[in-house]
């Protein structure tokens, strides 16, 4: 097996003898002979700073070579830094400077061209955890998720003043290790005092960064009559907040003291002075802030969860924005986590507007972004509408978009329900119709679609072919474009062998993965071999099968050939190229392509070396890596292995003709790079 592109493997420190193509700098002329030049990367650099490389001694050039640089400057033998072209010779001492990015977790690079060959100096900025500026009092506040970049080997992580979680695992304050591409969250207990900072410091390797949590400000109440028109069940606390425990709705004054905090015992309702807006606490940590919105009293959710009932066009402050209920009896659920306020619309329509100056008189019911019945909107503390997803707040109302539990398989990512009509689509179309319309657009013709609510699988038939898709995650409303964080760009379902892509139609975006038509058939076949066998759908849409103590990862092709019979015995096949297949009980055959178990780890490691680099699924059992402007094919193996202790400090290593990738869970997967 031959490998290509020297500087690719050099970036990961792999000691492999590989031929270079014309115009590329060979990483190794022989297994132990170093290349002419390698400039170590710098990770966790300060933002927007001039970063200087380690000094590199040049050797192996032979004759002097012309030298040029893009996006940086260089210094030879202690001389001044310049971006002008020059000459590089054996024995020269070289340093390179790059201006780091102004954004956190971002890679920049200088590109040196040495006699037509290319070498990079890559700088990745420090990770930053966005602060929380208006946290509830004495609450566990969890940071937004930060993807760690710039680590080429596992690094020690520790925390002071809080707890951390890696990839959704349990929060802990014990030291551990973190790898490139991992998802990090921090949890801090906020102060019981207003306008007070609490901070945790997390250290990765030698670099530390804080997570700052500042509690919200409020106006202290001197007497209950400054806030309430009905004092039944109300208590004035020593800290100037108000507590209410009552079975009946207590009302605010028409003009209450602004920014006063009212804490509600679970089950207690609180109304505005007109009685047209009532918040009923559904959790023990419920607290509201009084707001002046011009002509009527209003509430802003500070912490906890609520059932909200509006009998008119009421204004509800959310962060620095506002929600306006429509002119009907509107039922909502609201929850504030400290980072954002989530609003589930049970009926009618509400309108969001990022306008701190909105008043009752000036806020038209049609103004703003509509959020329809059956949808949940996320608004951050700055008042920005960050997402609208289809489904209920907690996903427990069996609505379109709420998660299903497919039979015979464990799901790492939720599988949304496609059945049921949507208010956004006039109450006449469903998410299944959205999927069909999107697929029709991709194929350029009209197919037929069916759906199993037991398995969650949508089956699309077009041009004599059958395709099986499994929706993943939460269907989302498109807010001016493709939602951030979707790894699968919209692509033709017909040509995406691994079957996973983001489909957008009628203003709604759904991620689909090619899947099996009948999970129960696959489960039965596996258990016939090993009664303890298990199936798991990973968040990427890949299928992980545990069989006889070993784990195998694959992505079934969305296209199922044949079928139409019944009562067939499900079985596995192997074709001439070594690809596995599965024949279900209808006689339909699907190819099982090998895929990376977690392609994000590979993708983020490449980005640490080359900010413009990436790894993405390309279908047919291959992935594509782009590095240094060139494209390479990666061919993963089916098997997941336990990463050996001998490579405990490495994310990548080579063993013969294979290269291994370490995952965050301690497993490893081999792949090759066919010529």
| CA–CA dist 626, 633 (Å, integer) | 9
Residue 464 DSSP class: T
* Domain layout of the chain by residue ranges: 36-125, 132-215, 224-390, 403-514
| CATH C-level class of 224-390 | mainly beta
| Contact indicator for 178, 157 with CB cutoff of 8 Å | yes
Nearest partner of 114 among 71, 187, 58, 162, judged by Cα: 58
Q: 36-125 with 132-215: one CATH topology? A: yes
Separation between Cα atoms, residue 37 and residue 21, nearest integer Å: 17
pLDDT of the residue at 483: 32
**Regions of the chain where pLDDT drops below 50:** 1-36, 356-366, 481-499
What residues have CB less than 8 Å from 245, skipping those under 6 apart? Answer: 233, 235, 264, 265, 268
* Predicted local distance difference test score (pLDDT) of residue 487: 31
> Candidates 2.60.120, 3.90.1750, 2.60.40, 3.40.50; correct CATH number of 132-215?
2.60.40
Q: Give the number of other Cβ atoms within 10 Å of residue 31's Cβ.
A: 9
Q: Which of 614, 607, 635 is nearest to 623 (CA)?
A: 635
Both tokens assigned to 420: 């049921």
Task: Check residue 31 and give its pLDDT.
Answer: 27
pLDDT score of 607: 67
Residue 538's pLDDT is what?
77
Architecture of the domain delimited by 36-125: Sandwich (2.60)
Q: Which residues are 59's β-sheet partners?
A: none
For residue 209, which phi and psi values (nearest 5 degrees)? -145, 145
pLDDT in the model for residue 33: 29
Q: DSSP of 319-385, one letter per residue?
A: TTEEEEE-SS-EEEEEEE-SSEEEEEE-SSEEEEE--TT--TTT--TT-SEEEETTEEEEEETTS-E
Separation CA 598–CA 602 (nearest Å): 8
Which pLDDT value is given to residue 212?
94
Output the pLDDT for position 27: 25
Please tell me the distance from the alpha carbon of residue 672 to that of residue 675, in angstroms, as a whole number: 9
**What is the model's pLDDT at position 386?**
83
Q: Could you give the CA distance from residue 262 to residue 533 in angstroms, rounded to a whole number?
A: 53
pLDDT for the residue 608? 58
């Amino acid at each position: 097996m031959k490998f290509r592109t020297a500087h690719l493997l050099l970036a990961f420190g792999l000691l492999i003898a590989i031929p270079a193509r014309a115009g590329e700098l060979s990483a190794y002329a022989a297994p132990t002979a170093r290349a002419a030049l390698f400039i170590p990367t710098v990770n966790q650099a300060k933002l927007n700073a001039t970063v200087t490389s380690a000094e590199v001694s040049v050797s192996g050039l032979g004759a002097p070579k012309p030298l040029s640089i893009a996006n940086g400057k260089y210094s030879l033998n202690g001389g001044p830094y310049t971006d002008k072209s020059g000459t590089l010779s054996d024995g020269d001492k070289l340093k390179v400077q790059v201006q780091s990015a102004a954004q956190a977790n971002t890679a920049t690079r200088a590109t040196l061209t040495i006699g037509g060959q290319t070498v990079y100096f890559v700088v990745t900025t420090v990770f930053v955890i966005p602060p929380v500026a208006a946290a509830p009092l004495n609450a566990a506040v969890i940071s937004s998720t930060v993807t760690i970049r710039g680590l080429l080997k596992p690094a020690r992580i520790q925390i002071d003043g809080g707890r951390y979680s890696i990839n959704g695992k349990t929060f802990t304050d014990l030291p551990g290790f973190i790898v490139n591409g991992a998802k990090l969250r921090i949890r801090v207990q906020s102060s019981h005092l207003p306008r007070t900072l609490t901070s945790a410091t997390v250290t990765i390797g030698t670099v530390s960064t804080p997570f700052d949590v500042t509690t919200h400000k409020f106006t202290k109440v001197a007497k209950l009559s400054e806030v309430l028109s009905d004092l039944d069940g109300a208590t004035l606390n020593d800290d100037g907040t108000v507590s209410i425990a009552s079975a009946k709705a207590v009302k605010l004054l028409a003009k209450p003291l602004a920014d006063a905090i009212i804490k509600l015992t679970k089950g207690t309702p609180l109304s505005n002075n007109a009685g047209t807006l009532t918040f009923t606490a559904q959790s023990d940590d419920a607290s509201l802030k009084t707001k002046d919105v011009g002509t009527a009293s209003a509430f802003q959710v500070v912490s906890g969860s609520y059932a909200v009932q509006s009998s008119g066009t009421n204004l509800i402050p959310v962060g620095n924005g506002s929600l306006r209920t429509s002119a009907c009896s509107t039922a909502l659920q609201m929850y504030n986590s400290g980072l954002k306020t989530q609003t589930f619309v049970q009926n009618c329509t509400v309108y969001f507007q990022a306008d701190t100056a909105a008043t009752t008189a000036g806020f038209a019911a049609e103004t703003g972004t509509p959020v329809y019945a059956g949808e949940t909107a996320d608004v951050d503390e700055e008042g920005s509408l960050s997402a609208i997803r289809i489904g209920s707040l907690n996903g427990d109302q069996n609505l379109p978009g709420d998660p299903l539990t497919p039979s015979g398989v464990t799901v790492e990512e939720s599988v949304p329900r496609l059945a049921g009509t949507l208010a956004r689509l006039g109450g006449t179309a469903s998410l299944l119709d959205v999927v069909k319309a999107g697929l029709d657009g991709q194929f350029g013709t009209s197919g037929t679609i069916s759906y199993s609510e037991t398995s969650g699988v949508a089956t699309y038939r077009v041009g004599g072919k059958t395709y099986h898709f499994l929706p993943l995650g939460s269907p989302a409303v498109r807010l001016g474009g493709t939602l951030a964080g979707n790894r699968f760009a919209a692509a033709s379902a017909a040509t995406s062998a691994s079957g996973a892509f983001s489909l957008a139609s009628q203003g709604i975006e759904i991620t689909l993965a090619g899947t099996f038509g009948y999970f129960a058939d696959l489960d039965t076949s596996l258990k016939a071999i090993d009664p303890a066998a298990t199936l798991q759908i990973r968040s990427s849409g890949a299928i992980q099968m545990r069989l006889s103590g070993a784990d195998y990862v694959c992505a079934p092709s969305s296209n199922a050939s044949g079928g139409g019979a019944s009562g067939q015995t499900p079985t596995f096949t192997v074709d001439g190229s070594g690809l596995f297949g599965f024949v279900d009980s209808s006689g339909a055959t699907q190819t099982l392509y090998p895929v990376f178990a977690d392609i994000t780890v590979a993708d983020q490691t490449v980005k640490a070396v080359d900010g413009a680099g990436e790894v993405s699924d390309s279908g047919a059992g291959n992935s594509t890596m782009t590095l240094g402007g060139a494209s390479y094919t990666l061919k993963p193996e089916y098997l997941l292995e336990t990463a050996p202790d001998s490579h405990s400090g490495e994310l990548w290593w080579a063993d013969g003709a294979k290269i291994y990738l370490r995952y965050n869970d301690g497993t490893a997967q081999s792949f090759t790079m066919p010529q």
